[in-house]
Amino acid sequence: MTWTYSQTTGTLTHNEHIVGHGYSGYGAGKNNFPMQTVRDAGTIPEGYYTIGSPHRSDHVGNFAMSLTPEPGTRTLGRDAFFLHGDSTRHPGSASNDCIIMDRIIREKVWTSGDRQLKVVP
């Protein structure tokens, strides 16, 4: 089944059940769907993404998963999307186009075996 992330509420659902809450976007763009066109501020663009395997990244930390846009998803000139954890130094400000969720939620995403994410307003 598909994971679904809401740009407006930050809610992540799986099979229509709420699994967790997070955020996407920075500053005024945080969980602000109309700002999805703004690089490094708006939410991850609406569409479908393939969830990559978890890895450690020097930039976004442990258990980060790449989100690869599927054909037909308009990324609005943006790239390098991830599902990763929040900043420990500046909580609430870790997203530059990414989806931020606690590690326990990211682990649930990975262990589910479902690799498609639908991003909706």
Model pTM?
0.95
What are the pLDDT digits (tens) for 53-72? Answer: 999 988 888 999 999 999 99
Bridge partners of 51, per DSSP, are 67
Token pair belonging to 111 = 């262990």
Go through the chain and tell me how many residues it has: 121
Q: Which residues are 6's β-sheet partners?
A: 120
- pLDDT tens digits, one per residue of 6-16: 999 999 999 99
Q: Give, for 84, the enclosing helix (H) or strand (E).
A: strand 81-84
Range list of H helices, the chain: 103-112
Pick the CATH number of 3-120 from 3.40.50.880, 2.40.440.10, 3.40.50.1970, 3.30.70.330: 2.40.440.10
